[in-house]
Copies of this chain bind each other. A is one copy, B any other.
């Protein structure tokens, strides 16, 4: 594939616009030729804002364009699998936001389509591209902390999403913890065998009325013996709390939060510093660039993208295991078809 890769963007919502900005301004080897959105006006606005030549309502216009090498799918979750299949059928490489789908059979059909078409697929688990988490993984993988024994992930959002979103999101384990499931696999380089999930509604009763929970604590048992805990909350008043820790036989690696500035004030009341960066758009700004850059590199060098379709499927399996555990109050095996 030539150095410059031509792309089409499907979905011009919040995440779509981030990818549009990065593709047009931060990634000189990318050429974003077209954008589509079911709300054509959104596509047109993105096209104007980011100098994208074509704006469509119908993504078929993108799939049918022979100039386009790859698509970036940021539409609503329920459309991901369909668009993956259509893109694969059209021979386009695919970057798709997580999750692939909330239905595992639908995921499997989509992954089959990708395999048959022989196109490349990368899933948007952006946190893998954060320099701090990358450094943590390198340290674990290199043996700097010996054999890993205990994993801890703290992942708390600054504010819950709208209730309407929560209702179609698959719930906390498939919408929020899914990122932490991916991070767990990424840091430990092994699969989770069993999950036990505890949860509560503590932030907003409306979340409970929608059938979801807003506070969770998930125990993971990996195949290699590592035991881990993930804690989640939908609302941390001090901002996005994203910390990980891997403890091992020769040491521990810990990743703390990132702050917008380094100013520290000491006064008669104490010592004060800034809250962590507010949310994922701020904290993972560079990771959004890096994940697409890695996707483009995989296309150019004809290698497997760093987050595969299977990497997209397994956290969904884990999310359902977590729901089953929460509902039955029992540990649940994670059944991976392997």
Chain A: residues with CB nearer than 8 A to chain B? 25-26, 28, 49, 131-132, 134-136, 139, 144-147, 149-150, 152, 154, 156, 196, 198-200, 202-203, 215-217, 219, 221, 225, 227-229, 231, 233, 235-239, 241, 247, 249-258, 260-276, 329-331
Q: How many identical subunits does the complex contain? A: 4
Contact (Cβ within 8 A) A263 B152: no
| From B221, B249, B258, contact of A262 by CB (8 A) | B258
Contact (Cβ within 8 A) A238 B251: yes
| From B233, B265, B269, contact of A253 by CB (8 A) | B265
Contacts A135-B274, A238-B268, A255-B264 supplied; 11 other A-B pairs, CB < 8 Å: A134-B261, A150-B215, A196-B198, A198-B221, A199-B227, A236-B247, A238-B266, A238-B270, A254-B265, A266-B275, A270-B275
**22 contacts across the A-B interface (CB closer than 8 A):** A134-B261, A135-B274, A149-B233, A156-B247, A196-B331, A198-B227, A199-B227, A200-B225, A219-B219, A227-B231, A236-B247, A237-B249, A238-B252, A252-B266, A254-B264, A256-B262, A257-B262, A266-B276, A268-B275, A271-B273, A271-B274, A272-B272
Q: 10 tightest CB-CB pairs across the interface, nearest first? A: A251-B267, A238-B266, A135-B263, A132-B261, A132-B262, A229-B229, A135-B261, A237-B268, A217-B227, A131-B261
Residue of B nearest to A196 (CB): B196
Residue of B nearest to A238 (CB): B266
Counting chain B CB atoms within 10 Å of each CB, the highest count among A145, A221, A260, A263 belongs to A263
Report A215 CB to chain B, min CB distance, Å: 5
Contact (Cβ within 8 A) B271 A272: yes
